Amino acid sequence: MGAIASSHAPGALELFRKIMVASTSIPGAVSPVMIDVDVDGKHFQEMHVDGGVIAQVFLYPPRSIMELSRATGKPFHRELHTYVIRNGKLEPEWSGVKRRTVNIGARAISALIQTQGINDLARIYATAQQDGANFNLAYIGSDFNDLHNEQFNATYMKRLFDYGYQLSVKGYARHKAPPGEARLNMTDQYDDLASLITQTISSA
């Protein structure tokens, strides 16, 4: 996007705007954005939609630090701090669905996209753990219960903004692991404690 904006090429501004619009074009809810391209002298139109269907949250390629160390021949010693913001909830939300193919399909896609976002966080957390990075996560908590029946509802988005603002004013306590990973880590700790107690009783 930076290269497009600084290129000063004819149509650069229009292309930049189209990409921004495409990034909010939710599949099945908003029409895709058509972008003209030329390949091998032939003219085509590409359909572009919200990139959330590919990846909703990203950091850097998982092997970047290892490859950097290999290329330089030196271990990477700088402190790494990872800050991830997930504009969505991580807990599953109940929703009534009409017994219609379109409605069921839309709900399935919604659930799939939410699950993919959670998997993105797990992947980023695993990369942070691998590289010894300080992981920090922010997301919409289960205490935000406002409902909305349509996309881009201005009243809903204003309440969501106020919710995030109030959390930040109070000093938002960033999560050090995704919820599922945190539960797994706690389970591991309980298993270690139980093992220690068992060994202590056996030795007594």
**pLDDT attached to residue 199:** 53
**pLDDT attached to residue 26:** 78
Per-residue pLDDT of 146-161, as tens digits, reads 877 676 788 999 999 9
Planar angle of CA 89, 93, 94, nearest 5 degrees: 170
> Where do the domains of the chain lie?
2-52, 56-177
**pLDDT attached to residue 24:** 83
Per-residue pLDDT of 33-83, as tens digits, reads 999 988 899 999 999 988 777 788 888 888 898 898 889 998 888 899 999
